[in-house]
Chain A
């Protein structure tokens, strides 16, 4: 696999960013887009545009087919059993809200417990908090260990007879820990507990097989997966999506509308109310093809090498403290520098064209637990190289110099 060749497929790397070559280490936030994806959006709007699923004219039928093609591609990519288990949303956030809202309407009862973890992104906590407010459910937190991991044992310890649902991240966007989702799901199912997975960081970097994972729901963020913004995927087992009530009401999701009664459409339309992000869905097919052309095994190998290399570099750099040291780690390097606030780090690195993120990364619970207000985070994607991490390390050194460390 030739990374230089792959990098060339991303037009952004031809740009000078404030006179620098871009060292993009913020893919956990959002990935850059390959040309095929950008071009596909342009092509659809200039040559093929129509709304989908509504009209019978040529363009509408063609656009509908393209839209449904992506659904089939996603189904294959994540090995879902049924095409109708794939629902498009505006992002992973909406997917998680959809799950919490509909389970809240029809499944979870007052006093039921939802188990999440200290690693969760706010979008896998706040939607459950809504139910804590409206339905009086209880939220429990599985705690991280010293390495920043969540173990099956810890999950088991936190399960009570009232636990109805476990909602966990596949890969932490701060510590990089990859959770044993399959084992947790087995355990949960043996006790009749539903499993929801926030797959935002998992989907772009790990091999996905819904039938093997066996979780009940899996949320994907397309913009982190070399795809367009404004798009997410909700995978849900058919029996759940059939059984649960609709989320949003409007056009496209209905079967029959009368003054005194309304019936709802079949899957997946039931969950796709209103005009969807048509161009994004159609372009996302190219993101999947792009990932398939490289091969997820190659992606995983490349990123694992990068993380190992970056981890070693930063561990050797005194005053840099890495957050978490999970055995099973994805492409995320979060760190602090004693004496330099993460925002100052980010500003100084930016001056060299090194784009990282500083802050709590939407994980305040975790930062509270670690007793730090914020951290700096470098995260990798398929286009990154060891040279990028060398530059990161060098810019960190510059940062230390400015702060007289």
Chain B
């Protein structure tokens, strides 16, 4: 019924060939996250330059198509943003996944918004929301230099 919305081509494509699935050389921020219920895990790496702009973002880990696609799209579009912009985008994304009908952040281009909206299908699958959000929570944790592993709330 809604499977087509959940598994859109972009998700399947990113899930199959995730971008930035590697470890950034010379990263200066990182954090780990896991989903104890299903055993999914992610390790997010960020490299910020002198102006606090994300020069590179990457991740390692394994998970379902939704979680891999989400991390892939996230690490792609966060490059070139500063911490403030990145955090606003995270807020915007999490808000959209929870309840908002659309994305509002001025730091996202139309193209980026379209890509992220492909993940909005999980709204109808409450058990899968955490798959889409784990890497995002983990990235915030990396910015904040939290050493504690992120656990997805249910």
Q: Is the CB of A373 within 8 A of B65?
A: no
Q: Please, which residue of chain B has its CB at the minimum distance from the CB of A343?
A: B64
Chain A min CB distance to B83 (Å): 31
Q: Is the CB of A341 within 8 A of B64?
A: yes
Count chain B residues whose beta carbon lies closer than 8 angstroms to a beta carbon of A: 22
Judge if B63 is at the interface, Cβ distance under 8 Å: yes
Residues of chain B in range 9-60 having any CB-CB distance to chain A below 8 Å:
12, 15-16, 37-41
Which of A344, A374, A403 neighbours the largest number of chain B CB atoms within 10 Å of its CB? A344
Judge if A60 is at the interface, Cβ distance under 8 Å: no
Q: Is the CB of B128 within 8 A of A343?
A: yes
Which of these, A343, A367, A403, contacts B12 with CB under 8 Å? A403
Residues of A within 8 A of B7 (CB): 344, 348, 402-403
Which of B12, B64, B66 neighbours the largest number of chain A CB atoms within 10 Å of its CB? B64
Q: Please, which residue of chain B has its CB at the minimum distance from the CB of A351?
A: B3
Q: Is the CB of B3 within 8 A of A348?
A: yes
Q: Is the CB of A367 within 8 A of B64?
A: no
Which of these, B16, B41, B131, contacts A343 with CB under 8 Å? B131
Residues of chain A in range 333-353 having any CB-CB distance to chain B below 8 Å:
339-344, 347-348, 351
Q: Is the CB of A373 within 8 A of B12?
A: no
A364 to B34, CA, bound (A): 14
Residues of B within 8 A of A263 (CB): none
Chain A min CB distance to B24 (Å): 22
Judge if B105 is at the interface, Cβ distance under 8 Å: no
Residues of A within 8 A of B65 (CB): 340-341, 344, 403
Which positions in B face A, CB cutoff 8 Å? 1, 3, 6-7, 12, 15-16, 37-41, 62-66, 68, 125, 127-128, 131
Which positions in A face B, CB cutoff 8 Å? 339-344, 347-348, 351, 358-360, 364, 367, 373-374, 402-404
19 contacts between A and B (CB under 8 A): A340-B65, A341-B63, A341-B64, A341-B65, A344-B64, A347-B3, A347-B6, A347-B125, A347-B128, A351-B1, A359-B38, A360-B38, A373-B39, A373-B62, A374-B39, A402-B7, A403-B7, A403-B12, A403-B65
